[in-house]
Amino acid sequence: MAIPLPAELVEAARAGDCGDIERLLQAVWPDAYRLANAILGDRQAAEDVAQEACIILYRTISSLRSVAAFRVWFYRIVLREATQIKQRRSRTEPETRADAYVQDVGLTVDVMRALSTLPDHLREVVVLRYFEELSSREIASILRIPDGTVRFRLMIAKRRLRPLLHDEAPVHQTGEARTNAI
């Protein structure tokens, strides 16, 4: 679900009071972490990204031009930090796709493995569309690309994911992988 926040919470944080900013951080932290984890597939990296995004929010929320802009603004921060941490890690650690995702209790291995096969620019739109349930217009605004490009990327991503995901496959409740998952 996309970040639903009361406007008063964002407005109060914009005014600069530390207590209000921290209340806002408490509210956005789970969404920031989940988004980062879906993008990166790594709990530790997701925690780093979410923490960095919160630090940036803490320091710069007062410069936000309007409450309505908060959601797009914060999504951009999380995605940017995720990209940066991914670039830093790719310089030091070669990514092995099969091992790049830590299985967590409750995670759907099929979904995470499927996402891991997508290049970054497709994974972003898929996560924002299906994980955050944003419209293509909202995704276009966040990624600063045309709406048509978002829809095109989703189409390409769906084509790639279709062979990997079974239409009737049950959702996994534990972290164990199915032997015929892919």
> DSSP string of 106-135?
T--HHHHHHHHTS-HHHHHHHIIIIIS---
Q: Minimal CA–CA distance to 171: which of 118, 112, 127, 97?
A: 112
User: Binding to another protein (CB under 8 A): which residues in 115-154?
Assistant: 130-131, 133, 146
Q: Does 13 bind another protein (CB under 8 A)?
A: no
Contact 56, 114 (CB under 8 A): no
CA 24 to CA 27: how far, in whole Å? 5
Q: State which of residues 20, 42, 81, 110 lies at the interface with another protein (CB under 8 A).
A: 110
**Does 16 sit near another protein (CB under 8 A)?**
no
Q: Is 158 in the site for another protein (CB under 8 A)?
A: yes
Amino acid at 59: R
Residue 162 interacts with another protein (CB under 8 A)? yes
Nearer to another protein (CB atom), residue 6 or residue 106? 106
**Contact of 118 with 127, CB cutoff 8 Å:** no
**Is residue 10 part of the contact set for another protein (CB under 8 A)?**
no
Compute how many residues bind another protein; rule: CB under 8 A: 41
State how far Cα 104 lies from the chain centre: 17
State the residues that interact with another protein by CB under 8 A. 1, 18, 22, 25-26, 29-30, 33-34, 37-38, 43, 47, 51, 54-55, 58-59, 63, 65-66, 104-108, 110-112, 130-131, 133, 146, 158, 161-162, 165, 167-169, 171
